[in-house]
Amino acid sequence: MKRLLIGLASLVLAVLAMLPALASLDSEPPKDAEFTYARIRYHMTPDAIFVREVPWHHDYPYGDETFPTFVKEVSRVHTASNAYQIVDIDSPDLFKYPFAYLCEPGYLELNDKDTKNFREYLERGGFVMVDDFRGPRHLSNLVYQMKKVFPNRNMVPLTVSHSIFDSFYKIESLDMRPPYGPGPVEFLGLEDDHGRLMMVIDYNNDLSEFWEWLDEGSLSLHDAAVSLKFGTNYLIYALTH
């Protein structure tokens, strides 16, 4: 009976995961964009079926539209509001995008193909922004899954003196307020053998939530501006390292 329930849950998750992707097929990013925001679609743990929205899909596509729009306005990077794309974590298409976004990693479940592709992506210079998750259980799952990718590498706390926080904007403090609790916010990183950040992790935080609701005015404009500064710094760091 337990095996049957797990099988049914996996089937439902597969169907749910397909629906948003099918809806996005009519949204093609501009071919001349220098930056396209890649949202990673991943295989999920069985308990993801109990989440209101498919976990990898949170804040899509509104956060995905706001971020490149802001980047275009404040930098010389040629991009557009529709410069975003859903990319499977096990797909060779992932290598087309030097910058990728992954949310709700508490529901991430890597199989062997995922692990191999993700490792190669990161080792070849890819950069991943991990966002929108909170609580020790979800952090523990991210740590566990990334140990499949890099068994001998650990996530490290980032301080405001790290160059990623001075790559475009000068971030003065990492003490920011998340859109909802619990806190406190922490910034973690995963480095390669040369000290390059391959991944930045917004723990107990959700920058894309600010991006999504910016036009609605339902969250602090100041906090939204700060969140976009962080995202822009991540991107410029990724493109220059």
Q: Got the DSSP string for 16-33? A: HHHHHHHHGGG-PPPTT-
Positions of the chain with pLDDT under 50:
1-26
Taking residue 130's Cβ as centre, other Cβ atoms within 10 Å add up to 24
Distance (Å, rounded) from C-alpha 155 to C-alpha 176?
Answer: 20
Residue 26's pLDDT is what?
A: 46
Residue 13's pLDDT is what?
A: 43
Residue 28's pLDDT is what?
A: 85
The CATH code of the domain that includes 34 is 3.40.50.12140
**How many domains are there within the chain?**
1
Report the predicted TM-score, pTM, of the whole model to 2 decimal places: 0.88
pLDDT, tens digit, 9 for 90 and up, residues 115-137:
999 999 999 999 999 999 999 99
Residue 220's pLDDT is what?
A: 86
**Cβ contact 234:198 at 8 Å:** no
User: What separation in angstroms does the CA of 237 have from each of 33, 106, 157, 158, 234?
Assistant: 18, 25, 17, 14, 5
Residue 195, burial from CB neighbour count under 10 angstroms (0-12, 13-18, 19+): exposed
Distance (Å, rounded) from C-alpha 115 to C-alpha 43?
Answer: 11
Residue 25's pLDDT is what?
A: 43
Residue 27's pLDDT is what?
A: 64
Residue type, 43: H
pLDDT, tens digit, 9 for 90 and up, residues 178-189:
998 777 999 999
Domain that holds residue 118: 2-240
CA dihedral 54, 60, 122, 199 (to 10 degrees): -100
